[in-house]
Amino acid sequence: MKLAAGILPCYENLYLLGLEHHGWSAFSGMCESGETPFEGAFREFQEETCNVFKQIDIHKLQSHCKKCIFTKNNNLDFYLYVCDFKDLIDEYYIKNISKLYSNNFHQCNDIHCKEKSRLTWYTLHEINNLNLRKSFKLSFNLYIQDLI
């Protein structure tokens, strides 16, 4: 059984997504051997955000996880952790995420940091109008159904 996991950051009514060639998504990928789903999600999150949030350690983020959505598709178990960033970052990260990401993106030589071309905070309403990656859309729709 393959295992994948990701993190969907939220801040009040905003959610952070990254743009890839297949559309917008949270920050996720395959777990490496020996990683728990949350450890894999955390590693992928740090890689795909180019360590913009390097001041947040795994234990602090895990304690701010407010929801875990689990999906099973063929041979893949996927965990999406919705984490509340309200007490972890200040509004500077909301207003300046594009600049922070761009600066780190251009300085990073790791190929994993180049998966997303852009990061943006969106409301739920705005996300409904985006082209979402298929794999993310399934988990995100389950999260939305839970809110209603």
Residue 144 has a pLDDT of: 87
Please, is 90 exposed, middle or buried when counting C-beta atoms within 10 Å of its C-beta (0-12, 13-18, 19+)?
Answer: exposed
Distance (Å, whole) CA 77 – CA 23: 21
Prediction pTM value = 0.95
Using the 8-state DSSP alphabet, how is residue 71 labeled? E
Residue 76 has a pLDDT of: 93
CATH number for 38: 3.90.79.10
Count the domains in the chain: 1
Residue 133 has a pLDDT of: 94
**CA quadruple 44, 19, 95, 106: dihedral positive or negative?**
positive
Q: What is the pLDDT of residues 122-139, one digit of tens each?
A: 999 999 999 999 889 989
Domain residues for the domain of 15 are 2-147
Q: Which parts of the chain have pLDDT scores under 50?
A: none
Distance (Å, whole) CA 56 – CA 117: 22
Residue 23 has a pLDDT of: 96
